[in-house]
């Protein structure tokens, strides 16, 4: 079974907690703090694997979680870092955040790695919080909680050439005649419900990958039938071979068929009509096809679409068709990148990150949170402007209000990671 869209849940490993500990030895009853730091949590990493061509494996396993870091220990012992989780996906997989639909990663090369979630940072042990006035801190940081997401994996086939056209025009037969692929072939609509790939060997130039894109229908760009699922695979092909039934066996007019399919491509993604395209007028072994071949040439060769009369069943005209396609590929820009227009997924903005306040002991409060830590990292509070920004941030973020709700009083101590200060309003 070909599976090209699945939903999974991913979670990074949490950071280990810092340790509260004090050195103890014979004749030493009041040693200093020696709590170790917690280990970093494992990350969630996606890797492109050339040995996979479907998302079938993800139908049976939907939860992926990296290992959490170990807690810190006594005597300055650091906790062990958690192991990363490596998730292998086929090349051509797009990863979307399920709720927003925005793209988080696009795996387009073999071996390409994307870290979607970094492991949580380990908490610092109490040895880091000793000061001249607080020499026995009974406080250590908790490990950072790693993020988690529901994500959608979408597989878009990456092929050099795509066979497009309405159902039952002979695309699967053409693929089977010129490559080593063995698609199912029958005389009814929607025989091909999943894409097939084959390799055209080098007598037409360099070898190239040919994909039989399942038959489209009118209205596919609006999601009718399996339209969006099929059109997804068209986006990553360099050249289109537009196959039409020149004999009109199904009663369809081949000139109108080309127009209809191109209209669906344009409505789905206008950039698709800028790709090189040739028209393969199939079933020319049937006498009634001659008139339609001429009509196709009159209608489309003036638009730059070469028309090749072929018969996939008898091999007629296939050499000329594939030689022309090989030449187009040979002249194709090597550095071209087929990237759909999308809005990149952004991490939660700093000013919307949650924070927590812990009452460590009477008169001593600890503030933690991703946004708070980022703010401390890029703010120089030694300058007047930086200190004003720091004060404004605490107010707008709601940290001052939250501290007051926790019962903070004038002169009490507040710690924000490595920064410690007295509270005055």
pLDDT at 97 over 80: yes
CB 412 within 8 A of CB 366: no
Concatenating the DSSP letter of every residue in 226-255 gives: THHHHHHHHTTEEEEEEEEETT-TTS--HH
Q: Residues of 8-43 as b/e, b for ≥16 C-beta within 10 angstroms?
A: bebbbbbbbbbbbbbeeeeeeeeeebbbbbbbbbbb
Residues 102-129 have pLDDT tens digits of 888 888 888 999 999 999 889 888 888 7
256 HSE (CA, 13 A, CB side): 6
Domain termination residue (choose one: 103, 126, 155): 155
Report the pLDDT value the prediction gives residue 65, as an integer from 0 to 100. 95
Question: For residue 37, is pLDDT > 70?
Answer: yes
Q: Read off the CATH number of the domain in which 269 is found.
A: 3.40.50.300
Query: What pLDDT score does 8 carry?
Result: 93
Nearest to 48 by CA among 6, 92, 4: 92
Q: Which residues contact 288 (CB under 8 A, 6 or more apart)?
A: 247, 248
Contact 280, 318 (CB under 8 A): no
**Is there a single domain that holds both residue 132 and residue 164?**
no
Q: Are 109 and 165 within one domain?
A: no
User: Does residue 108 share a domain with residue 14?
Assistant: yes
What is the arithmetic mean of pLDDT over 121-146? 82
Domain assignment of residue 220, yes or no: yes
Residue 343 lies in a domain: no
* pTM for the predicted model, two decimal places: 0.60
Residues 111, 176 share a domain: no
**What is the count of structural domains for the chain?**
3
Measured CA to CA, the distance from residue 243 to residue 213 in angstroms comes to 11
Strand partners, 334: none
Residues 357 and 303 in one domain: no
Do residues 164 and 149 both lie within one domain? no
Distance CA 42, CA 61 (A): 19
Are residues 27 and 110 located together in one domain of the fold?
yes
Give the pLDDT confidence score for residue 219 in this predicted structure.
Answer: 47
Q: Which pLDDT tens digit goes with each residue over 211-266?
A: 887 655 444 444 444 444 566 667 778 899 999 888 877 677 889 988 988 888 88
User: What is the DSSP pairing of strand 63-65 with strand 196-200?
Assistant: unpaired
Which one-letter DSSP state was computed for residue 206? S
Confirm whether 365 is domain-assigned: yes
| Same-domain status, 317 and 397 | no
The CATH number assigned to the domain holding 353 equals 3.30.300.350
Task: Return the closest-CA partner of residue 237 out of 204, 272, 269.
Answer: 272
Tell me, yes or no, whether 326 and 352 share the same domain: no
- Whether 370 is in a domain gets the answer yes
Residue pair 199/250 in contact (Cβ under 8 Å)? The answer is no
Q: List, for residues 325-344, the tens digit of each pLDDT value.
A: 888 888 876 544 444 444 44
pLDDT mean over 193-201: 66
Question: Do residues 205 and 144 both lie within one domain?
Answer: no
CATH code at 81? 2.70.210.12
| Together in a domain, 175 and 132 | no
Q: Are 34 and 127 in contact (CB under 8 A)?
A: yes
User: What 3-state DSSP class applies to 202?
Assistant: helix
The mean pLDDT value of the chain amounts to 79
Is 195 within the bounds of a domain?
A: yes
Q: Which domain holds residue 212?
A: 159-330
> In this structure, is residue 296 part of a structural domain?
yes
Last residue of a domain, one of 330, 364, 384: 330
Q: At what angle do helices 227-234 and 254-268 cross, to 10 degrees?
A: 80
CA distance 181 to 198: 5
Sign of the CA dihedral with 377 first, then 378, 380, and 385 last: negative
Q: Which of 124, 155, 186 is the last residue of a domain?
A: 155
> Do 377 and 295 share a structural domain?
no
Decide if 227 is inside a domain: yes
DSSP E strands in 352-411: the ranges are: 356-361, 364-368
């Amino acid at each position: 079974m070909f599976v090209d869209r699945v939903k999974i849940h991913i979670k990074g490993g949490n950071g280990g907690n810092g340790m509260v500990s004090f050195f103890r030895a014979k004749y030493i009853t009041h040693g200093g703090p020696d709590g170790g730091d917690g280990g970093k949590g494992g990350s969630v990493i996606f890797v492109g694997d050339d040995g996979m061509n479907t998302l079938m494996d993800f139908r049976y396993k939907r939860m992926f979680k990296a290992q959490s870091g170990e807690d810190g220990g006594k005597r300055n012992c650091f906790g062990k870092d958690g192991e990363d989780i490596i998730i292998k996906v086929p090349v051509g997989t797009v990863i979307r955040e399920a709720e927003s639909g925005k793209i988080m990663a696009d795996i387009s090369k073999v071996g390409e790695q994307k870290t979607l979630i970094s492991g949580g940072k380990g908490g610092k042990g109490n040895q880091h919080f000793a000061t001249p006035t607080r020499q026995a801190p009974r406080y250590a940081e908790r490990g950072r909680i790693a993020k988690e997401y529901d994500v959608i994996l979408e597989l878009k086939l990456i092929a050099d050439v795509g066979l497009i056209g309405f159902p039952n025009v002979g695309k699967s037969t053409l693929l089977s005649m010129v490559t080593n692929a063995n698609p199912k072939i029958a005389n009814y609509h929607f025989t091909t419900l999943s894409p097939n790939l084959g390799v055209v060997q080098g007598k037409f130039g360099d070898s190239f990958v040919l994909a039989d894109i399942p038959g489209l229908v009118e209205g596919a760009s609006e999601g009718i039938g399996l339209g969006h699922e099929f059109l997804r695979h068209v986006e990553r092909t360099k050249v289109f071979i537009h196959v039409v039934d020149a004999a009109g066996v199904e009663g369809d007019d081949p000139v109108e068929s080309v127009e209809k399919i191109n209209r669906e491509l344009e409505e789905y993604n206008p950039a698709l009509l800028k790709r090189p395209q040739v028209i393969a007028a199939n079933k020319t072994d049937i006498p009634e096809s001659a008139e339609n071949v001429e009509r196709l040439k009159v209608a489309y060769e003036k638009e730059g679409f070469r028309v090749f009369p072929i018969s996939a069943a008898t091999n007629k005209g296939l050499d000329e068709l594939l030689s022309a396609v090989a030449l187009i590929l040979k002249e194709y820009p090597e550095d071209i990148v087929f990237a759909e227009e999308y809005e990149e997924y952004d991490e939660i903005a700093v000013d919307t990150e949650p924070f927590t306040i812990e009452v460590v002991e009477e008169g001593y409060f600890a503030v933690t949170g991703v946004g708070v830590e980022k703010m401390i990292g890029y703010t120089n509070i030694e300058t007047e402007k930086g200190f004003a920004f720091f004060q404004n941030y605490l107010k707008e973020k709601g940290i001052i209000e939250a501290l007051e709700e926790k019962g903070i009083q004038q002169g009490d101590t507040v710690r924000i990671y490595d920064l410690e200060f007295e509270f005055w309003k």
